[in-house]
Amino acid sequence: MVIKDQFNSSFEDNLFPVKKTLHIKGKLHYFTGPWIMGIINITPDSFFSASRSLGKKEETLKKAGKMLEDGAAILDIGGYSSRPNAIHISIEEELNRIIPVITSIKEVYPQAIVSIDTFRHEVAEKAVWAGADIVNDISGGRLDKRMIPLVGAMAVPFICMHMRGNPGNMQDLTGYHNLEKEIVDYFSMKMKKCREAGIKDVILDLGFGFAKTLDQNYQLLKNLSHFSLLGVPILVGISRKSMIYKYLGGGPLEALNGTTALNMAALIGGAQILRVHDVKEAKETIDLFKKIYH
């Protein structure tokens, strides 16, 4: 494969050093090892039912506290489900779901790093005002042209994901001539726009399950180390996704063991952040990875 021939690298012998720091609201954070991002969905229709937190505030705070205790470095709060054919909601509804949660988490756990999972600049802006530290956009700013300039103005890190189309039609847009090269080109263009907007810290998410076939997801995971050439942290979000249970059988509830196996593969490939529903299991995976390779 062309990219492999030109950019042969691994987590042990990396020709393209990856940035090891994040500036978050005036504080410098170091990647001394892989981080865990815990998923808290303030939605009634996320694909994994156990991740939904539309109940009482105390229930969500308990979940957040348990994730932090188990080893989460980041809590990712989302109020708009991005699964295929998810229900469309208004900006106002999305804000009503996430702002009270972010405010409460920051009041009870002021040192927690919170990311807002949204593709709407209005939601991102008010979430950061409420205490969010990072903006996580599944569209990489493509669905809202004001997102990247806003993130630059707010001076917070930006998680830029690769996706084609939108959650409703993305699985009809899986045709690639060269999968890895096209995603590298996409991120190169996005990183240029981010730098021009003043964004100093960019994290890349390859978008497993977003405009990718099952086989393409596994191809990307196998070749994850190639994306180190971009020189920024890579986030991998494969937790309980259909790429696991469509291959092994069952559904999201039965996909924890497969998630753990693929998270180890992601760490070997150079992932700096694992976005997961099950923080304790991810922390154990990282501990074993470090025992072997560090």
pLDDT tens, residue by residue, 176-213: 999 999 999 999 999 999 999 999 999 999 999 999 99
Looking at mean pLDDT, say which of 1-10, 46-55, 269-278 comes out highest.
Answer: 269-278
In 10 A of CB 257, how many CB atoms?
Answer: 12
**Which listed residue (195, 275, 280, 291) is catalytic?**
275
Q: What mean pLDDT value characterizes the chain?
A: 90
pLDDT band at 7 (very low <50, low <70, confident <90, very high): very low
Averaged over 37-49, what is the pLDDT?
A: 75
Measure the CA–CA gap between 15 and 8, rounded to whole angstroms. 8
Q: Which of 87-91, 111-115, 259-263, 267-271 has the weakest average pLDDT?
A: 87-91
- Whole-prediction pTM: 0.91
pLDDT at residue 52, as a whole number: 53
**Residue 124, both tokens:** 């991102």
In this predicted structure, the answer to whether residue 6 has a pLDDT above a threshold of 60 is no
What lies within 8 Å, CB to CB, of 66 at 6+ separation is 279
In this predicted structure, the answer to whether residue 4 has a pLDDT above a threshold of 90 is no
Verify whether residue 241 is a known catalytic residue.
Answer: yes
What lies within 8 Å, CB to CB, of 127 at 6+ separation is 77, 98, 99, 102, 116, 118, 135
Q: Where are the domains of the chain?
A: 29-293
pLDDT at residue 2, as a whole number: 38
pLDDT at residue 17, as a whole number: 79
Contact at 8 Å (CB) between 132 and 98? Answer: no
In 10 A of CB 90, how many CB atoms?
Answer: 10
Measure the CA–CA gap between 25 and 155, rounded to whole angstroms. 8
168 or 288, which is more confident: 288
pLDDT at residue 111, as a whole number: 94
Measure the CA–CA gap between 247 and 136, rounded to whole angstroms. 28
Say which CATH topology domain 29-293 has.
TIM Barrel (3.20.20)
Closest Cα partner for 35 from 271, 261, 292? 271
Averaged over 264-293, what is the pLDDT?
A: 97
pLDDT at residue 253, as a whole number: 94
What tens digit of pLDDT does each residue of 161-175 get?
999 988 888 888 899
**Which listed residue (97, 120, 212, 241) is catalytic?**
241
Measure the CA–CA gap between 103 and 109, rounded to whole angstroms. 10
In 10 A of CB 100, how many CB atoms?
Answer: 14
pLDDT at residue 172, as a whole number: 87
